[in-house]
Amino acid sequence: MSLTEKDVTYVARLARLALTEAERFKYLGQLERILDHIKILSKYDTQNIPATTHVIPLSNVWREDVAVPFLDTPSILANAPDREEVYFKVKKVIE
Amino acid sequence: MSLHDLSASEIARRVKAKEVTAREVAVSFLERAKRLDKSLKAFLSFSDDAALRQAEAVDLFVSAGKDPGPLAGVPIAVKDNMCVTGTRTTCASKILENFTANYDATVIAQLRSAGAVFLGKTNLDEFAMGSSTENSAFFTTRNPWDLSRIPGGSSGGSAVAVAARLAPLALGSDTGGSIRQPAALCGVVGLKPTYGRVSRFGLVAFASSLDQIGPFATNVSDAALLLQSIAGHDPKDSTSANIPVPNYSAALGRGVKGLRIGLPKEYFIEGMDPQVEKSVRQAVATLESLGAIVSEVSLPHTDAGLSVYYVIAPSEASANLARFDGVRYGHRSPRAENLLQQYEFSRDEGFGPEVKRRIMLGTYALSSGYYDAYYLKAQKVRTLIKRDFDRAFESVDVIATPTAPTAAFKAGEKSDDPLQMYLSDVFTISCNLAGLPGISLPCGFTSGSAKKLCLRPPTLSRKRPHGGECPRPRRAFDPAGKGGFGGRGGDGTRRSLVDQGQEFAGPSGVDFSERPFGERGNDGDGRAPRSGRRNGVAVQNFGTPFGCGIPVDARRKTRAENGALVSDGSGGPYRGMGPGRSIG
């Protein structure tokens, strides 16, 4: 399964990473090598093997729907890159 | 004897007994840490003021006749991917460079109420992705035994803080070996608890089905003490196990007689440093001589572990790290002209190369058309790996392996080749994949670096798959146990080391004298080392050649001796380790 530069560009977009040309080239080579190594998985027959998503048997964890105070707004906003009053400020989404 | 030579439990005892104030302890460790950190670079930030306030609060408790908790006044270094209110939490990433935590991780809140004092935040590979701390966006931490070498990673800063006695205890996180591998390379005890045992609320997520927080300590009894304070169910972490927490310290100190140790043949591979193999085998032989029953086991899917890990961990990381969008916190690119660019530029500027590589890999593995071939396939092979362990634990109580195939390597040696770097984790990742606890214990030195033995207790007994670190007290094994690395007060041997001009007890810092074998009658073999341990002879077998004081300080003096060193294995550490049992 050889990667193409197009794949890398596509994946970078999915991952929301604005890679430079040089980065795309670098990752192309490195990811190919890693994926090549990962091929070893195909030698194992897993046809009737269930997938392990978690090592402890987890189903839904239920609790009462009770509101508890977490943090005050100012302390949350203190880490915001940009804000206005009590809101996070971002670039305009809709023209 | 200086404060930094004391074990955590001894510090707490003295603070409670008013022999020393928590403030004095904090001042002493802060002074030492800041002085030595100039060359070690273990810390990303210090929190002097907060530490002194915490210490003073502990002292107030003591003077009021109240119990400040089991870690009264004990300084702790915290890996910088856990939130401590009011301190920067950077994950060694530019994207979080200016992020100040506004709440405590559950482990931090637990340690606060146990009386601990947080000295500062330690360096790591960015977002805990790496095996050397070279992926830190800020600087590389240095191995205290040889400053040209890396300390391992990702929790390298925490390992170094403990190894160089900048703090008696530290917290790390382990996703594929990030506690155990640096513990091995720095010569300290590092424990990755069972998946679900310790709450991850407030730990910046890397790979959610693998991450676990755990202790670094100079001896196992301190590791047990720290684990005790952080283990337990937390409603804020829906993956935390709601299973009673055993008393780890009480489970220490039992013998190894009759303990069934499995050596997986797949872990003694070609390409492994022969000195590492020799030390590990020597250590196992010592355990055998103390009554353990050693047999070979097979974990046939071992060679798939690395590949499974490097599909699952990056996949989960790519999802977890999607939250870094430059909206609510973290770096925001000034170049962006629209929202999409804000995401793409902020992430490109904020994440380092390894993090981007893993996000790319994970996104690819999860993307349409590849999901079945990679992610789903990896999860199925993960099941096979887990079954390997289930099968092995039908015939043995613990599995002993090397922690890493080599000792500490030189800075820069592997940083250009991601795959080579990934191979450093080859022996540790299967524990995470199977959810098992694993502990790394010092078992000697190669010429110049520490190496380890990793023992994996089967805390997942068949009946109680995730029953905790010592579900079957009789069986669960704390390889290092009380008699092993540290023993109760833990200062006995260290004193003797200091007497010999060895103020650093790190890898050799095992307390043989404090708790000799025999209390449980498990050393009925009456082996000679018993008295040797008491008088420190056993320690000298491997401790003396290094002659290491604080690794940094002593370096010049001891360098010449380093070549000759090599623990030779002598099994020294293991003699002490024998009686131990069970923090598993």
CATH of the domain at A28: 1.10.20
How many CB pairs below 8 Å do chains A and B form together?
A: 168
**Predicted confidence (pLDDT) per residue in B459-486, tens digit:** 322 222 233 344 332 222 333 332 233 2
Q: Looking at chain A, which residue has its C-alpha nearest residue B347?
A: A17
Residue with tokens 């010429």: B447
Q: Do A42 and B343 touch (CB under 8 A)?
A: no
- When divided into structural domains, chain A yields a total of 1
What pTM did the predictor assign? 0.83
Residues whose CB is less than 8 angstroms from the CB of residue B225 and which lie 6 or more positions away in sequence, other chains included: B8, B9, B12, B70, B71, B169, B217, B248, B249
- Residue B284, φ and ψ in degrees, nearest 5: -65, -40
Tell me, yes or no, whether A31 lies in a domain. yes
Burial B355-386 (b: 16+ CB within 10 A, else e): bbbbbbbbbbbbbeebeebbbbbbbbbbbbbb
User: What whole-number percentage of chain B has pLDDT above 70?
Assistant: 76
Tell me, yes or no, whether A17 lies in a domain. yes
| Displacement of CA B216 from its chain's centroid (Å) | 4
Q: Choose the closest CB to B100 out of A40, A79, A92.
A: A79
**Does A43 have pLDDT greater than 80?**
yes
| Distance from C-alpha of B221 to C-alpha of B480, rounded to nearest angstrom | 8
Shortest distance, CA A29 to any CA of chain B (angstroms): 11
Distances (CA, A) of A86 to A72, A89, B329: 11, 9, 14
Sheet of B293-297: strand order equals B43-46, B117-122, B75-79, B169-174, B212-217, B189-192, B438-446, B449-456, B398-402, B260-264, B293-297
In chain B, which residues have their Cβ closer than 8 Å to the Cβ of A22? Answer: none
- Residue B264, φ and ψ in degrees, nearest 5: -75, 125
Tell me, yes or no, whether A38 lies in a domain. yes
Q: Which two tokens stand for residue B233?
A: 């169910």
Q: What is the ipTM of this complex?
A: 0.95
Return the CA Rg of chain A: 22
Q: Do A11 and B348 touch (CB under 8 A)?
A: no
Q: Do B239 and A14 touch (CB under 8 A)?
A: no
In chain B, which residues have their Cβ closer than 8 Å to the Cβ of A49? Answer: 380-381, 383-384
**Does B574 have pLDDT greater than 80?**
no
Q: Which of A78-82, B227-231, B358-362, B564-568 has the lowest mean pLDDT?
A: B564-568
Mean pLDDT value across residues B41-48: 98
The whole-number pLDDT of residue B501 equals 26
* CA triple B370-B384-B128, angle to 5 deg: 65
Tell me, yes or no, whether A21 lies in a domain. yes
Residues whose CB is less than 8 angstroms from the CB of residue B57 and which lie 6 or more positions away in sequence, other chains included: B68
**Does B163 have pLDDT greater than 50?**
yes
Interface of B with A in 235-294 (CB under 8 A): 235, 238-239, 241
The whole-number pLDDT of residue B458 equals 40
Residues of B annotated as catalytic (active site), given as ranges: 79, 154, 178
Tell me, yes or no, whether A61 lies in a domain. no
| Distance from C-alpha of A84 to C-alpha of B197, rounded to nearest angstrom | 41
Q: Choose the closest CB to A80 out of B329, B357, B367.
A: B329
pLDDT band at B455 (very low <50, low <70, confident <90, very high): low
B180 lies within 8 A of chain A by CB:
no
**Predicted confidence (pLDDT) per residue in B486-542, tens digit:** 222 232 232 222 222 222 323 322 222 222 222 222 222 222 222 222 222 122 122
Looking at this protein, which amino acid is placed at residue A50? P
**Does B205 have pLDDT greater than 60?**
yes
Q: Looking at chain A, which residue has its C-alpha nearest residue B337?
A: A91
**Predicted confidence (pLDDT) per residue in B280-335, tens digit:** 999 999 999 999 999 999 999 999 999 999 999 999 999 999 999 999 999 999 99
Q: Do A7 and B364 touch (CB under 8 A)?
A: yes
Tell me, yes or no, whether A30 lies in a domain. yes
B53 lies within 8 A of chain A by CB:
no
Peptide bond into B295 cis (omega under 30): no
**Does B434 have pLDDT greater than 80?**
yes
Mean pLDDT value across residues B93-112: 97
User: What whole-number percentage of chain B has pLDDT above 90?
Assistant: 69
Listed in sequence order, the DSSP H helices in B466-550 are 481-484, 492-499, 529-535, 537-543
Tell me, yes or no, whether A12 lies in a domain. yes
SS3 B260: strand
Tell me, yes or no, whether A48 lies in a domain. no
**Predicted confidence (pLDDT) per residue in B381-426, tens digit:** 999 999 999 999 999 999 999 999 989 999 998 888 888 888 888 8
Q: Do B344 and A18 touch (CB under 8 A)?
A: yes
Shortest distance, CA B281 to any CA of chain A (angstroms): 29
Q: Containing domain of residue A37, as a range? A: 5-43
Mean pLDDT value across residues B171-199: 96
